[in-house]
């Protein structure tokens, strides 16, 4: 393996290769995380769509499937977030990822427990804020990324963040092969993070009917919309999304309230918990009250696709790369292919060194 393929990321996280599998809600379940880690990447378990009672069993299930280190993603606006923090510290997971929300005191709690803090951000100012409160590394997601995403392309955002912070930076948004890994390392990143590429593997536990929507999608089928929950969200176009884009404000509100009630049933959260989460997103997440009310749309409509196997009744978050991918390797094949290609490109670039 080319020397450039060993970076500080492996030393920080304990993985074999500088590749991260991101925590996609309802998708990054123990089966996918374990397969990613066993293949040499570093996987993040998605706890943002779990109740506080479900987090520890999910960690235990992942540990039963792999002896490799892995991380857990959560957000501070979800019901039971404080309990989840206690669980993650008690379970001594290798790393945590999150968006905005945690403060310096919470970061200190994790770091005192020996847990790596590696948030995901989509803007330079947010990267600077995370570095200021003491995180160990930062994943930056450019506009090509899936789900909630920004407007700045990775090739613009990545060098800006590298110039702005003094912590290791992982690049996300638009990566799917070894050429992308080599390019990210050339920029100065310590590795890449991928979501859609790991979703589109045989190890991903989502229903085959939903997975087929990704392999069939072309670039023209992928759109960026704010009609789902008021924030820019990259999705594969389907009938439900078309309906949402034509709906009026009252219909959208009714849709959101109905999904909030379904989310309450799935997570076991109280109404007070959901209202507290909405206020937190409004206050600290920079959302309007209307956006906070619509926030329940995303997890419920994604759940219908990723768990229930009804993509016609749900939505399909995706990175732009789904438009050019049509294969479903397993994680071991994918990682081997990426590392081999990156090694070849780096060797060519450095004249055989």
pLDDT tens, 8-60? 999 999 999 999 999 999 999 999 999 999 999 999 999 999 999 999 999 99
**Eight-state DSSP code of residue 219:** G
Q: Which structure tokens are listed for 330?
A: 């397993």
If DSSP codes are grouped into helix, strand and coil, which group holds residue 288? coil
Q: What angle do CA 229, 129, 48 make, to 5 degrees?
A: 40
Q: What is the CATH number of the domain that holds 161?
A: 3.20.20.70
> Are 53 and 178 within one domain?
yes
Query: What is residue 299's predicted lDDT score, i.e. its pLDDT?
Result: 82
Neighbouring-strand partners of residue 46: 73
How many domains does the chain fold into? Answer: 2
Pair (302, 272) in one structural domain: yes
Name the residue among 274, 103, 125 with its Cα closest to residue 117. Answer: 103
221 and 180: one domain?
no
CA distance 337 to 329: 10
Residues 125, 161 within the same domain: yes
Q: Which backbone phi and psi does 69 adopt, to 5 degrees?
A: -70, 150
For the segment 80-100, what is each residue's pLDDT rounded down to a tens digit?
889 999 999 999 999 999 976
Residues 316 and 342 in one domain: no
Domain hosting residue 10, numbered range: 3-207+326-349
**In terms of domains, do 18 and 46 share one?**
yes
Are residues 180 and 37 part of one domain? yes
Beta-bridge partner residues of 191: 170
Q: Are residues 165 and 269 in the same domain?
A: no
Q: Enumerate residue ranges in the chain where pLDDT < 50.
A: none
Nearest to residue 40, comparing CAs of 63, 65, 69, 61?
69
Specify the 3-state DSSP secondary structure of 120: strand
pLDDT for 316 equals: 96
| Claim to verify: residue 339 and residue 305 sit in the same structural domain | no
pLDDT value at residue 296: 60
The phi, psi pair for 43, rounded to 5°, reads -100, 145
Q: Are 217 and 107 found together in one domain?
A: no
Residues 69, 200 within the same domain = yes
Residues 292, 218 share a domain: yes
Look at residue 266 in the predicted model and tell me its pLDDT.
56
């Amino acid at each position: 393996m080319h020397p450039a393929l060993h970076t500080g990321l492996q030393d920080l996280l304990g993985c074999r290769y500088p590749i991260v599998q991101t925590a996609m809600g309802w998708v990054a379940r123990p089966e996918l995380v374990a397969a990613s880690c066993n293949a040499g990447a570093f996987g993040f378990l998605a706890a943002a769509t779990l109740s506080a009672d479900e987090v520890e069993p999910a960690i235990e299930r992942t540990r039963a499937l792999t002896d490799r280190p892995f991380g857990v993603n959560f957000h501070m606006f979800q019901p039971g977030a404080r309990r989840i923090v206690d669980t993650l510290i008690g379970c001594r997971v290798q790393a945590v990822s999150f968006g905005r929300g945690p403060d310096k005191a919470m970061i200190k709690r994790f770091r005192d427990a020996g847990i790596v803090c590696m948030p995901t951000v989509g803007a330079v100012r947010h990267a600077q804020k995370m570095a200021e409160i003491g995180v160990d590394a930062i994943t930056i997601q450019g506009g090509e990324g899936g789900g909630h995403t920004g407007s700045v392309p990775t090739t613009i955002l990545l060098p800006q963040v590298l110039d702005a912070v003094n912590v290791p930076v992982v690049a996300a948004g638009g990566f799917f092969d070894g050429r992308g890994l080599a390019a990210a390392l050339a920029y100065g990143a310590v590795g890449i993070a991928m979501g859609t590429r790991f979703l589109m593997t045989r190890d991903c536990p989502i229903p085959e009917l939903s997975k087929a929507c990704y392999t069939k999608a072309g670039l023209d089928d992928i759109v960026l919309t704010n009609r789902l929950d008021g924030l820019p969200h990259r999705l594969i176009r389907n009938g439900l999304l078309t309906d949402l884009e034509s709906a009026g404000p009252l219909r959208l509100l009714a849709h959101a309230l109905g999904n909030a009630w379904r989310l309450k049933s799935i997570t076991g959260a109280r109404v007070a918990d959901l209202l507290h989460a909405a206020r937190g997103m409004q206050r600290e997440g920079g959302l309007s009250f209307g956006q906070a009310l619509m926030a329940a749309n995303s997890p419920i409509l994604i759940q219908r696709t990723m768990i229930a196997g009804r993509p016609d009744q749900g939505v399909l978050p995706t990175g732009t790369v789904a438009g050019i991918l049509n294969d479903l390797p397993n994680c071991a094949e994918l990682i081997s292919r990426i590392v081999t290609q990156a090694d070849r490109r780096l060797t060519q670039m450095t004249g055989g060194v």
